[in-house]
Amino acid sequence: MASTGEPTSAGSGAAAEVHAEAAAAAHGGGAPVERASVAGEAATAGAPAETASVASTEAARAAAAAAVAAEVAGAAPAALALDASVPLVLVTGVTGYIGAWVARYILAAGFRVRAAVRSLADDRRYRSFAFWAGPTGHKIDFVEAGLESPSSWPAAVAGCTYVVHVASPVPTSTVRDEDAEVIRPAVQGTRNVIAAALACPTVRRIVMTSSVAAVFEGREREWDTHTFGEADW
């Protein structure tokens, strides 16, 4: 850009206008376009080059700020139209180690992911996943559903093409009642998820993983000394 205050040519004025209009289009408002157009006309008429440059810079900054605000708010980029026809996969147990990776890989493979969590109000266990996005631009959708709440699963599986059931109770402290705390929730939860999936006309396949309890249950003394693997099933 010239710094002597000399007038710019009509070509550079038009370029300033086009640049600012593109930035304004990204911003989504009409005001920056109008301001940029005036700047372009001024440059064409012989106004200092700085006038068009400042207007274009301000419009670009406004567009950048709007883009950042949209990303923070979770909005998809304007240039990316989200395709609702992309298959939807329900994943349970997403707050666990295995479930989280399953959800992430499915999302990265180009599918939409709906994650079932115990409570939407307690987002401490899943809010870090809310920023994950797949190549289609979709982010994880969260739904509240409890293993022992059969009425919560029909809504969770609605519209899904696939269901991946990973959730299962894994006590991290001393178990006082194994049947009430581990076995019953695991069995009833599996029944509830599968029953809802079978009743849903859109579901084509159900995938269920086992539990780590099937590998090291009864072998607590080896937890700190043995690396569990395929041979331990």
CATH superfamily, region 88-232 = NAD(P)-binding Rossmann-like Domain (3.40.50.720)
pLDDT digits (tens, 9 = 90+) for 150-188: 999 999 999 999 999 999 887 777 778 888 888 899 999
For the chain, percent of residues with pLDDT exceeding 90: 33
pLDDT at 65 (0 to 100): 53
Task: Check pLDDT > 80 for residue 74.
Answer: no
Asked whether 89 and 112 are in contact (CB, 8 A), the reply is yes
- If you ran DSSP here, which 8-state letter would residue 75 be given? P
- Residues near 57 by Cβ (< 8 Å), separated by ≥ 6? none
| Structure token digits, residue 223 | 């937890």
pLDDT digits (tens, 9 = 90+) for 211-229: 777 787 778 788 889 888 8
DSSP conformation letters of 107-174: HHTT-EEEEEES-SS-GGGTGGGGG-B-TTS-B-EEEE--TT-GGGHHHHHTT-SEEEE------SS-
User: Is this prediction's pTM over 0.85?
Assistant: no
pLDDT digits (tens, 9 = 90+) for 196-208: 999 999 999 999 9
Task: Check pLDDT > 50 for residue 113.
Answer: yes
Asked whether 161 and 204 are in contact (CB, 8 A), the reply is yes
Asked whether 88 and 109 are in contact (CB, 8 A), the reply is no
pLDDT at 12 (0 to 100): 39
pLDDT digits (tens, 9 = 90+) for 122-147: 877 777 777 788 888 888 999 999 99
- Average pLDDT of the chain to the nearest whole number: 73
Closest to 103 (Cα-Cα) out of 185, 229, 95, 31: 95
**13: pLDDT confidence band, cut at 50, 70 and 90?**
very low
pLDDT at 60 (0 to 100): 55
**Angstrom distance (rounded) from CA 144 to CA 139:** 16
- If you ran DSSP here, which 8-state letter would residue 225 be given? T
- Other Cβ atoms closer than 10 A to 36: 25
pLDDT at 86 (0 to 100): 92
Once rounded to an integer, what is the mean pLDDT over residues 14-28? 37
- Other Cβ atoms closer than 10 A to 29: 14
Stronger pLDDT, 11 or 70, i.e. the higher one: 70
For CATH 3.40.50.720, list the domain ranges present in the chain: 88-232
pLDDT at 218 (0 to 100): 77
Stronger pLDDT, 105 or 17, i.e. the higher one: 105
Closest to 133 (Cα-Cα) out of 101, 96, 99, 107: 107
Least reliable range by pLDDT among 38-47, 91-100, 167-176: 38-47
Once rounded to an integer, what is the mean pLDDT over residues 9-24? 38
**Angstrom distance (rounded) from CA 154 to CA 158:** 6
